[in-house]
Structure 1
């Protein structure tokens, strides 16, 4: 199958507020007031964790459909650790990204615990966002010529 290209466009607004157009949807991100933001939306890091939960849920539906499993629902609790010294530039030795992401998943389906574990492992294996977090993707940033 051929590659598909996704595209979003965004801009930095007042302060730390960021708006991103994703197809027909607009996503607003910001920083909390305690971090000089206006708290008009989740932080970009919050969005990564939210997207991970969304990806697991979507892939869970695909896997359940393909296996003819009645998946009544999934619940996610996701937490991640990062050191602010990395993203704030205080310590160049510290990674700015997450050190670890932990996800607890409750699967509501008529499966044994072993079957749920195997189901969850397949969801993780097939989730594009999990793949990017685990294996990375090339990132190429460049300036736009405004002249």
Structure 2
């Protein structure tokens, strides 16, 4: 199968607000007031957590039938531990990004506990966002002045 290319455009709006666009969709990211924003949207790390959770839900819904999982509902609560002193340059020893990310799965399925655990392991192995976080891609920057 050919490689698919996905695109997004981000652009400064006002203060720390950022317009995020992909295809015909748009949303705004911002920072909470205590981090210098106006709190008009999720911040980028919250959006990353939401993207990770959404990806896992989509994988679950897409592959449940193939794995004989009778999925009634799925919810994933995500949390990430981040020391803002790393990003703010206040502590050179603090990690800049998340040091830990946790996914709490709430699954209602007509399956055994063992089947559900195996399915969650499959979800975590198959989620493209999780794979991107765990196995960082080549990062390339081009500057246009």
TM-score (norm 2): 0.94
Report SS of the residue matched to 2:71.
coil
Give the ranges of 4+ consecutive aligned residues of structure 1 lying more than 4 Å apart after TM superposition.
Answer: none
Find the residue that maps to 1:93 and give its secondary structure. Answer: coil
RMSD value, Cα: 1.2
Find the aligned partners of 2:32 and 2:127 in 1 and give their Cα distance: 29
Cα distance between partner residues in 2 of 1:26 and 1:101: 26
Match of 2:115 in 1: 115
Gaps of 5+ in 1: none
Give the Cα separation in 1 of the matches to 2:33 and 2:116: 40
CA distance in structure 2 between the partners assigned to 1:114 and 1:70 by the alignment: 14
- Alignment-derived partner of residue 59 in structure 1: 59
Q: Distance in 2 between matches of 1:46 and 1:132?
A: 16
Superposed displacement of residue 83, structure 1: 1.2
Shift of 1:17: 0.1
Cα offsets for 1:24-63 (capped at 9, x unmatched): 1102100111222111100000000001110010000111
**2:97 aligned residue:** 97
Aligned equivalents of 1:106 and 1:133: distance in 2?
22
Match of 1:142 in 2: 142
Unaligned regions of 5+ residues in structure 2, if any?
A: none
Q: CA deviation at 1:93?
A: 2.8
Matches of residues 1-147 of structure 1 in structure 2 within 5 Å?
1-144=1-144, 146=145
